[in-house]
Chain A
Amino acid sequence: MSKHVVIDPITRIEGHLRIEAVIDENNVIKEAFSSSTMFRGIEEILKGRDPRDCGLLAMRICGVCTGTHYQRSIEAVEHAFGVTIPKNARLVRNLMQGALYLHDHIVHFYHLHALDWVDITKALEADPKKAVEEAQKWAKIAGTRAWNASEDNYKEVQDRVTKYVKQGRLGVFGNAYWGSKAYKLTPEQNLIGLSHYLDALDLQRRIAKAQAIFGGKNPHPQSIVVGGVTCVQDIKNPARIAEFKDIIQLAQKFTKQAYLPDVYMAGTMYADEALAGVGGGLGNFMCYGDFNLDDTPFYEAKKLFPSGIVLNKDLSKVYDLDQSKITEDVTHSWYEGNDNLHPFDGKTNPNYTGFKEKKEGIAYLDTDKKYSWIKSPLYDDQRMEVGPLARMIVGVARGDERITKYVTTFLKNGNLPTKVLFSTVGRTAGRAIESEMMADVIIQWCDELAANVAAGDLSTWTEFDFDKVSKDAQGYGMAEAPRGSLGHWVKIKDGKVVNYQAVVPSTWNAAPKDYKNRMGAYEASLVGTKVVDPDQPLEIIRTVHSFDPCIACAVHIVDTKGKELAVYKVDPLGGCRA
């Protein structure tokens, strides 16, 4: 007999996500449904505002990759206005965005994802001395020394958590799937993971500080404006750049000595699943491209991550990205209509149909009809996966030297075949590989900025005539968030925004089925997975987390024609404010 499992809330993510799965008598997932259950309407709110103010608002689409939304929104307007920013501004934006990548990946792996691999209660049984040897073993594979690996340190971590556990209330660590057979690490390995969890908590605080040096605060930085950046005094002060670089160097060390070895450790212990392709999903990968490496105008600069499309896991072919081929379908989303429209012309009239039924206190999604606030985006009528793994795959398929070097070194050191990448483990590995590359590159950018300022260039902003350029314009800011491809599209008329659309990583990954009943990336990655115990669906959580879900930003509301307000007014359920 099959079983219908409802998991809500999916915790350790940003936003509100529900997963429902149908599991057969052999505990294999037959069907999966991904649903977002929260809706705010930020794109609607952006309409009618001054395009120069959009960045501050659009950034609040998400409190995690906030800086990315900020930059994309500002870039969309710069693109519309035809403004090219000065070198200092480009470098500072790259530094802020680069720091965000590192911050996000480290927080994701250790604080949002690790507890799916690491059973912290088992760490208490570990022998700290053996744990040191274990840590050294994995660090050696990564070609480095082990991070903070001493008997004393591991003992201290163990004592601290033992005390915590003994006091009876586990607080935020309570009631998890501890003890599940789906956990495969040894007690010593669990102790290493736990120790790095704590160290990473401290480290992420510092990386956020680095971003605040040029951004003013984190989350929600404030130093980017249409035409450039405002943080002149922090750019012209070499001590500030050095302080930033110092923090990134620490993050670089942690990435090489802890993060990569831990991924080797987890990857090896879960190698069977990786080799079997568990959690592999769609096999179609897309990258919008990111990080301008020179100061040529929009979308002509050389990119750190090249854009492109790879289909069916076939690395021998890569297709050029054409933004005009992006459309969004709402067949299974809580919106009206059945048009498949490009974001410039996106329509989104809410049409909430709610749950199908409630049985014994549990509500069930109406999965044949509409079941999510997220739309189903398509590229050239294909479903796509986006994210760090997609960036690595597109980079390798493009033959990008730098990306290929980091990916092949990772695989070679771990003695792993390329196919392990197409799995839940591979998605997690892709993020670690990217972190190492980012840390190395950011440090070079720090030096580049310091040298440019030392050479006397203090320009931070490109002037433009707002009244002239904002008469009738449209543009897009397409690049990559840590989680994947993120684009903002804006149409401007007489100095005001007339339409605004964001198509973000989780719109691609967390989307429901489309008009052809094809699954979204989360859904496709879950189908076929065997779950040890359906009452403790650890495997489901693990695979969904491997995408780094970020749900609030995936939810739309916008309409170019201003009709949606009427929808609220005539809402049969009442209680609405227009």
Chain B
Amino acid sequence: MNKEVDVLIVGSGFGGLGLGAKLKQNNHPSFVIIERANDVGGAWRDNTYPGVECDVPSHLYSFSWKMNPNWSKTFAPGDEILNYMRDCAKDENLLENIDFNTEMLTSTWNSKDKLWHIETTQGLYIARYLVTAAGHLADEHLPNIEGLKDFKGDCFHSARWNNDADLTNKRVAIVGSGASAIQIVPEISKIAKEVVVFQRSAAYVVPRPDSIYTEQQKRLFKRMPSEMNKLRQDIFWAGEYNFIQRRNVPKFVNEAKKTALDHLESQVEDPDIREKLTPDYEIGCKRLLISNHYFPTFNQPHVCLEASALHKVEGNTLFGKSGVRYEDIDTIILATGFEATQPPFAKRVFNDQGHSLDAQWDKGMQAYDAITVHNFPNLFVINGPNTGLGHNSVVYIIEAQVDYIMEALEHIKIENKTVFEAKKSSEEQFVTRLQQMSEGTVWLAGGCKSWYVDQRSGNLTLVWPDFAYSFRDNNGTFHREGYDLS
């Protein structure tokens, strides 16, 4: 049986839950969230690797309308965040609106009935408005490495952790040195017999100002929520402060670089290892990482840093691009990131011409107001093009996008229309401005290769190249003038 709804949301991470909660709070009569997994949480449900934590303090990395006095520490562990999201779904009565184990296979805009036809693993849904909240770091990137398929031991991606794989006293290889790897490596090193880290390019790492909230502090947050809110604002503006580094203002770039390199110097004893851990690009060009435990791991004799990418696998022997070989490896952990630049959901969304969003984005993702796309009526993309941040919380961005959608839906209703489509000219104007704003930022000028930039066009398609507050200013309210309504 077809399921007909007004709004269909794909995904139940922060994006899907954030929009769902607002629709619910506004008594929206007809919406559904479809989720391919069997639980809410998105990235926080999928990433269960040892040491998983957020990198933005939790009092900010959470919904503004659901502050949590009970965060155990500055950067909450992943399971705490997941439980917070489950509580959100429950407290907002959203579970009745979520269809789990339901994967969007294809969504097609039908210009005759002016509705989206969404094929899923549980049958067909028909919706007036389609919102993809399928995540930007939701689908793992698996590197194409010679011989990897034939590897005899356990091999899995960091976002698909294999809890049955016992790493105690094993020889473990970790491929990658990004945000996930630096959380995994110190934890695995505690139990493994030997660890080798394949590092294609070194990361800048700065201290992690983490502390545990005492019972007294938590009680204050409960008794006086304004104190919790004050902390949230402090965190937000401390994060915003750092945008100037991404804007590539030398004094501040140099300050940040000094902090990172001093951190390395003070934490790693061996000058050769330090050298290998020193990046060859400008700070901030790739994601700036925070950890107090990653660098010291390399002081231990059983942990080895291979300063080149994993090149090939032969049986249980791994070869670095440098030619160095590592034998008798029991387990390979791929901390190799996500399909961010070309998100897989875009291959599944089609306009009435039969063209996919992915095909339209053949030179890179782009959207008007970072949320709607010409040729694709009645579609909102949450956490799509130019929504990432190098310096602040993605949940803040998601909330701005949710506001936008709520306003858009209201507006369309008031005008008595049912279909909206972003004008091509508005989208292009918006994107041109973004490109001008991106010029000279450290993402483009920093001399690195990162997933923030689409290699096909050289454009910065993943991040918002300005302050987070300015994302909300620019993209937190519906701009009627950019649309055709019918």
Genuine A/B complex: no
Interface set of B (CB-CB < 8 Å, partner A) = none
Interface set of A (CB-CB < 8 Å, partner B) = none
